[in-house]
Every structure is written in C-alpha cells, then in structure tokens.
Amino acid sequence: MPTPLVVSDVAKSFTMHLRDGIKLPVVAGVSFSIKAGECTVLGGPSGAGKSSILKMLYGNYAVDEGQIIVKHEGGLVDLAQASPRTVLAIRRQTIGYVSQFLRTVPRVSALDVVAEPLVERGEERETARDKARSLLARLNLPEKLWMLPPATFSGGEQQRVNIARGFITEHPILLLDEPTASLDATNRDVVIGLIAAKKAAGVALLGIFHDHDVREAVADRIIDVTVFAPGKLAA
C-alpha cells in the first residue's frame, strides 16, 4: 500500500506571549504514516492533541519540529517547511479537510459553498454544482436550503454542508475532524458509506471520531495520541 503521508518526530507547543510567555506543550515525537485505501483514526481523550495534529497536517497550525512528508503532484514535499503558496497548492490538489465547524461566508449559498473546492480545481461551475446537489441530496439536506447561505442553519445541517464540501473532490488524502459529531443515526450511516467509498477509491483517510459506532465502522487502525504526550518523550 502506498503511504502518501508520513509524519516523523513532529512537536507542537503554544507560547502565550500575553501570559508572560508561558509555554504549553501539546504533542511531541509524533510519528506515524497513513496508507492509501485505509482509514486511520486518532484516538485519545479530549485535549490529547488530536485536532492539533490534524491542523498541522493541513498547514493550519505551525509545526515546531519534525517533518510532514506529503506525496504531492508526483514529488515529496515537507509540509512543515513548505511556503504558504505550496501549502495552498497541497490543499487544492492533495489534502482535503472536513473541519469540525463550518466557517460560513456571508451571502454564499450552501450549494456554492460545497461546489467551491471543485471550482478551485478547475471544474466548470455548473458541473461542480450538479455534483454538489447530488451530495447534498445523499446527505438528506432539504432542497429548500440549498440556495440559502448556511449561517442560519442548525448544527447538523451546517455539518452536512461541511461534509459535502470535504467529500466533493478527489483529494488523495482526506482529514476528518469529528465529521459525525452532531448528526442523527441516518446521516451517520450516510457518512460511513461515503468514507467506505473513499477507501475503495484509494484515498488515505485520517480522522477523529468520538462516536464509538462510527469509529468501529470505519477504522482500519487506531493511533493512540496519548503516546505523543510531551512528558513521555523525556521518560
């Protein structure tokens, strides 16, 4: 199995300059790889650094130490050192991300929020919208909401828009930050189906799932994040 993403010895801490520069270590010595066609799950209690790891892999958090090697457009790139421009290209072509919460843009319809990543990859707007429609329908989002901006949607509705936006493209790597947290059982099953389809298509998935049933259904491998607790490294 190809490994499109390899993380080695990554460390992350926050320095709070407004609080006399106290340093909050988050994780250290993070090393793992993910495989194409598999769903790897980050496990561990809240605060263990699961989301921080995902955010580093998406370039949303800076990395203090270590390497994140991504297979991108035929070459290998260290995302931890990459320029903003390279990170943007990686996000467009290689790494997709379903965040926990949708960041809405005023006046942009749910349909266009979902279609946008495809348009950015050069797809025709109407083709992208068609694909967005079928995904939103599959996720049971009422059709009357499609043309409305998602700012006023319920948590579950926003999350489905977010999932559709993340799943619409064919990124070879997909990061999922609790995509099913506020979904009902029916829609959880839809997401499980979507994840299975991504695996079958050879996508490497890395996710955080607090929902036990979903985790059981999708995980091929669980990485316990507590082994990356900063104190452990010294021991």
Partner 1 sequence: MTDEPLLRVAALSKFYGSRVGCDNVSFDLWPGEVLAVVGESGSGKTTLLNCLSTRLLPSSGTASYRMRDGQFRELYRMSEAERRFLMRTDWGFVHQNPADGLRMTVSAGANVGERLMAVGDRHYGKIRATAVDWLSRVEIEQDRIDDEPRAFSGGMRQRLQIARNLVTGPRLVFMDEPTGGLDVSVQARLLDLLRGLVTDLGLAAIVVTHDLAVARLLSQRMMVMKDGRVVESGLTDRVLDDPRAPYTQLLVSSILQV
Which residues lie near partner 1 (CB under 8 A)? 14-18, 55, 59-62, 84-85, 87-89, 105-108
Distance CA 222, CA 205 (A): 12
- For the bound state, the minimum distance from the C-beta of residue 12 to partner 1, rounded and expressed in Å, comes to 9
CA dihedral of residues 139, 144, 146, 150 (deg, nearest 10)? -90
Number of residues in the chain: 235
Report the residue number, 121 or 215, with the smaller CB distance to partner 1.
121
Report the residue number, 48 or 191, with the smaller CB distance to partner 1.
48
- For the bound state, the minimum distance from the C-beta of residue 220 to partner 1, rounded and expressed in Å, comes to 29
- For the bound state, the minimum distance from the C-beta of residue 200 to partner 1, rounded and expressed in Å, comes to 31
Report the residue number, 22 or 196, with the smaller CB distance to partner 1.
22
- For the bound state, the minimum distance from the C-beta of residue 62 to partner 1, rounded and expressed in Å, comes to 5
Distance CA 203, CA 206 (A): 10
How many Cα atoms occupy the beta-carbon half-sphere of 175 within 13 Å? 23
Distance CA 114, CA 133 (A): 9
Q: Are 234 and 15 in contact (CB under 8 A)?
A: no
- For the bound state, the minimum distance from the C-beta of residue 208 to partner 1, rounded and expressed in Å, comes to 17
Report the residue number, 84 or 231, with the smaller CB distance to partner 1.
84
Report the residue number, 155 or 193, with the smaller CB distance to partner 1.
155
